[in-house]
Every structure is written in structure tokens, then in C-alpha cells.
Amino acid sequence: MPDLNCLLIFATVVESNSFSEAARRLNMPLSTVSRRVADLENELGVQLLERSTRKLRLTDVGTEVFKQAQMSVDLNDSVRDIVDQHQSLVTGILRISSPPSISDSVLAPIIGAFQEQHPRVRVQVFITDRFVDLMAEGIDVGFIVGPLHDPNLVSRVLLSYRHQVVASPQYLREFGEPQTPEDLLGHRLLAFSFWNPENAWHFVSRNSKEKRSITFRPYLSMNDYSGMIPRILAGVGIGEVPPVVHPNLLREGKLVEVLPEWKWPVFDLKIVHMGSRYVNRAIRAFIEVAAQCAPTLFPELPA
């Protein structure tokens, strides 16, 4: 019978597509991981992985063995969770990915609330605007704004809101306030973007009977809302921002919503995890804290 530890190590190597990443996840020396996979191949008398300097590829028999090896991973997680259920403390490492736009206003307070309840869990956060492959990159929980692109993810909606077009009172006094979406084209527009020469904003009238869109070349484009807001505050132009980024600025009158009768489409902020694996106690606890905490942070979101 194959060694269950070898099967677990083999499955982790395949899931992470890297011996070195598997060694990090398993907290083992790289040499040990490589040797245990080789031991498994020798014991079975077949090659499971084709190795190259840049990537790994499963052989045909390796694909079949991997399906069974995943069961050993799930069994290992299940046993650990049974032990956790009989202990008073949740422990371990939780790896989280998040877009930068919510890192301070949403993510930080949720992590704070979670670690107050579960101080033995160490949290590692990866902030990025790009799509994150949770399994390949060793992420336990991710925050996503907008649609899911991975059918293997299980999601839970934390917040629903629409972006707002805003400007400083100073800018509006100097340049006037637009009355229609088309009027925006006569102003300097700041947009969330990454190397796109043109942007498009889509609006729906408050009674949802009319839709309008504008296409423009931004006066300033940036893939970070927090970095764009100081320029809007300085009166550089009109920009669009999600209400979860510095929401106090509108409440305090430092920013003013432009075209409040024209709404943006509604966005969902979701928390996601892999659905094909057993969900351990730390992940479940974090999702519950996030679901409870997020609505209290923004009791009045534009929707």
C-alpha cells in the first residue's frame, strides 16, 4: 500500500505546480519533498510526473493517482479538523488575497475582528489587482469584486454597492457641475485603469428606464483608487470611486457626488474559497467573521 504521507506530498506538489512551493506549504525541506515523491514513484514502479526546469506535467497514470491522492489530502484535513473541533482555539496560518481598493477600509477591520476572536491564527495577506489562482498560489481565502471567473470557487456576497462619480466642491465651483453623462466629456476625468488609452463609463437613470454610456481618454488613470482620491480632493478633475474607499470624504462634504440621478451598475464584493477541497476550521471561521463584520462597516451603501 502506498505511503499516505507520500501521497499527500505528491498531491501538494501537483496542486502547487512546484516542488519548492509544496515544500513551503508543507513546511518541509525541498530535498525531502523531492525524495518522497521519488519514493512513491519507485514504490509504484511508474513515473507520475514529467519534470522540466519551468513546469511539471502529470503522466497519464500520474493523473489517475493524483485523483486518489487528493482523497488523502482531504482525509488529512478532516482529521485535523476533528481535532480542532475538540480544542478551544483555532490555530494555523490563513493566507488571504485582496484588491488594494478594500485593503484598509474592509480587509483590515475584518482581520482585526477575526484575530481578536482567534489570536492563535497567523494571517498572511497578498494585495493585488490581478486575477489570483487560489489553488496555484496557495491562497485560502480571496476577496473579489465583480463576476467569478473560476467555476471551482465557492463564493459568498459580503457587500453590494455602486460606484459614485465624485468631485471636490472647489472643482465644481470653478468648472461647473455636469447635468447629464454627456456633460462629463467637457471635464477632466480621472479613471481607474491600467494602461488603457480609453475608458467607458456606463450609467442607468434612477428610474432604470434609460441607459447612457460615455467613452473618453482619462486626464489621469491609475489602478489604485486610494492613490487617485488625493488628486480628486485637490480639484484636478472628476473621478469614479467605490463607496468603500474613504467613505468619510462624502459624509464630511470633502467630496460631492456628481450626477446622483444617474447610477452605475451594482457590484458585489465576494469572499471566495476553493470548493473542491475540505474547508478547514480557520477558513470557515474567517468567512463567518467577514460576513458578520462587513455590513456593519458600511450600513448605508449606495445600491
In tens, the pLDDT along 243-268 reads: 999 988 999 999 999 999 999 988 89
Residue 187 and residue 261: Cα distance in Å, rounded? 18
Residues 76-131 pLDDT 10s: 666 566 555 555 578 889 999 999 888 889 999 999 999 999 999 999 999 988 88
pTM: 0.70
Average pLDDT value for residue range 45-50: 87
Q: What is the strand order of the sheet 141-145 is part of? A: 121-127, 92-98, 141-145, 266-274, 153-162
pLDDT at 54: 66
Q: For helices 30-44 and 4-16, what crossing angle results, to 10°?
A: 120
* Domains identified in the chain and CATH numbers: 4-85 (1.10.10.10), 92-158+267-297 (3.40.190.10), 164-263 (3.40.190.290)
Mean pLDDT, the chain, whole residue set: 87
Average pLDDT for residues 193-206, to the nearest whole number?
Answer: 86
